[in-house]
Amino acid sequence: MTATRDDTPPSRRNRAVREPGFADLVVGFVGSVFVCVGSFGVGDIARNSTVAQDLGLSAIAYGHGKTLFGSIFWLGVATMVIAWVRLGRRLGTDRPALSVRTFGWGIVGWAAPLAVAVPVYSRDVYAYLGQGALFREGFDPYADGPAHLPGPLLDSMAQVWATTTAPYGPLFVGLTRLVTDITGDHVILGVYSIRLILLPGLLLSLWAIPRLARHFGASPQTGLWLALANPMVLIHLVAGSHVELLMMGVLVSGVALVVTGRHVHGLVVLGLAVSIKVTAGIAIPFVVWIWLSHIRARRRVEPVDVARVFASVIGITVAVFAVCTAVLGLGLGWLTGLGWADRIINWFTLPTLAGHIVTLVAAPFTALNLQPVLGVTRAVGMVVLAIVLVGLWWSHRRDERSAMAGMVWAMLAVLLLEPSTLPWYYTWVLCLAVAFTLPRWVRAIVVGVSTFMLIVFQPDDSILFYKLPEVLLATALSLLAAISLTRRDPLRLRRALDWFRGGPDTPHETDRSTTSGA
């Protein structure tokens, strides 16, 4: 009896399983499952809801049950960060990495459990529902706060926003009203419905980020790793259910269309991004230079070209925004809501950090109230930001690549100089920075900052910014994560294990593993 060789080509699924790094995707998925399970004990559970009691799950939200589920949650966070770092070590080296397709499906796999988790790190999703319900009942969310409509949605949101108006664009406010038209005041159905309208942002990002990276000669896998496999992004945006998830996808899709020559389509999409959240508008002025550089690549740019491009960039985006505004029927009232960000106080932006330093330095001599000092430092910060944005726009007009770099720096400037910033805001920079091949030390900083943001913000919406022991612990763990991207076993645990076993005291490779055979 003779054996025959099976020449049947392996299935796509089998090929994916054999790809280097696939095991790390599986580890990250297990971590996301732990985060999902743990969120039911430590997340931002809807208030005044009897669902947990009706299902017999109320014991997991307090006492020993909460401690157990909190441990599961943090084990999941640590597991996701470890898997992310391990995937990141393969990038930018001669070691084989996952294919873009497999990496993309892996990210979807990581996001899936988070999409059914209890909201964590923020109660903003309840505020979205409260503003949508307010609009549904005939109020103007750009003039009235959710406090005008008492009920379960108001009870579940962070009360600091109960009297504030909506800072979001007309498209997103319209979507929140559509959700509450369908789900009414049912909090849990509303949360999952909000996630359904936000998750297309993840799919758009999965489509656009590899295209943007390839266009500029960067690694699409590194782009996916930086902006989407990042546990801070996935946990905050998917499990936390933030509007940035949708805005990020629409923003990076619009930019990808523009740089690949589909300027009008890209500007329409960017107009929609601004209609979701106005921050996306920072990218639009740089489209002028990208479009002109495309013309310059074919022929000489004439004054009429400059006028036409300027008119098109302004006209298309304004027209899209105007249509969304007209359909909503509430005018430009969202502008008043932008000022409510001043209520957020943390030292992650330079103006707020400066305010803290001023009061700290003055403390031995005089008692300064932080709020008046912040009024001054934040006003100075806004002036500096305006100057920086204009300077970046003008100085990055040389060509397409320069304009793209200016766009990234402009988004970073907003993060550093606006009155306040939150972890999910970092997606504005990350989704655009994928166009460039970032040095490993920059990627290590991203790992460190992302890990820090997952620790100092707590899943129950509490914040540890001003608790020194916790901040020091978060800093130490973040540094360990950052160093682990560039060095294997930075704590030399393998050497200690060898010593304990009585083995040879030999140094181990830090950048590649070694094998020996008998």
Q: What angle do CA 509, 515, 517 make, to 5 degrees?
A: 150
Q: What angle do CA 62, 68, 70 make, to 5 degrees?
A: 80
**Long-range Cβ contact pairs of 256-263 (< 8 A, separation 24 or more):** 256/208, 256/209, 256/211, 256/212, 256/215, 258/287, 258/290, 258/291, 259/212, 259/215, 259/216, 259/290, 259/400, 259/404, 259/435, 260/211, 260/215, 261/294, 263/287, 263/290, 263/291, 263/294, 263/312
Full-model pTM: 0.88
Q: What is the pLDDT of residue 3?
A: 45
Asked if the model's pLDDT at residue 18 lies above 80, the reply is: no
Q: Between residues 58 and 475, which one has the greater pLDDT?
A: 475
DSSP secondary structure letter of residue 509: P
The closest alpha carbon to 281, from 263, 254, 261, 307, belongs to 254
Q: What is the pLDDT of residue 285?
A: 96
Mean pLDDT of 255-277: 95
- Across the chain, mean pLDDT equals 86
Q: What is the pLDDT of residue 142?
A: 87
Euclidean distance between CA atoms 388 and 413, whole angstroms: 7
Where do we find the tokens 């945006």?
Answer: 237
Q: What is the pLDDT of residue 1?
A: 42
Q: What is the pLDDT of residue 224?
A: 96
Asked if the model's pLDDT at residue 348 lies above 70, the reply is: yes
Q: What is the pLDDT of residue 206?
A: 97
Asked if the model's pLDDT at residue 30 lies above 80, the reply is: yes
Q: What is the pLDDT of residue 367?
A: 77
- Whether 236 and 35 have beta carbons less than 8 Å apart is answered as no
Over residues 199-228, the pLDDT tens digits come to 999 999 999 999 999 999 999 999 999 999
Euclidean distance between CA atoms 507 and 493, whole angstroms: 11
Over residues 367-426, the pLDDT tens digits come to 788 888 888 988 999 999 999 999 999 999 999 999 999 999 999 999 999 888 888 899
- Number of helical (H) and strand (E) elements in the chain, helices listed first: 24, 0
